[in-house]
Amino acid sequence: MIFTDKTILDSINKGKIVVHPFIHANLGTNSIDLTLAPHMKTYVNAEDYIQESYYLGRRHFEISDNVYKSVHATDGYFIDSKANNETRKFEIPEEGFILQPGQLYIASTNEYTETWNAVPKLEGRSSLGRLGLFIHVTAGYGDVGFCGQWTLELVATVPLRIYPNMKICQISYHGISEKPNIDYSKKESAKYSGQMGATESKMHENF
The residues assigned a catalytic role are 153
Q: Give, as one character, the DSSP assignment of residue 56.
A: T
Provide the β-strand partners of residue 107.
152
**Alpha-carbon Rg for the chain in angstroms:** 18
Number of H helices, E strands in the chain: 2, 13
What φ, ψ does residue 131 adopt, rounded to 5°?
A: -100, 5
Q: Give, as one character, the DSSP assignment of residue 141.
A: B
Asked whether the beta carbons of 113 and 17 are under 8 A apart, the reply is: yes
Of 155, 163, 134, 148, nearest to 195 (Cα)? 148
Asked whether the beta carbons of 161 and 207 are under 8 A apart, the reply is: no
Q: How far is CA 202 from the centre of its chain?
A: 15
**Coil, helix or strand at residue 59:** strand
Q: Which helix (H) or strand (E) holds 124?
A: strand 118-124
**Coil, helix or strand at residue 65:** helix
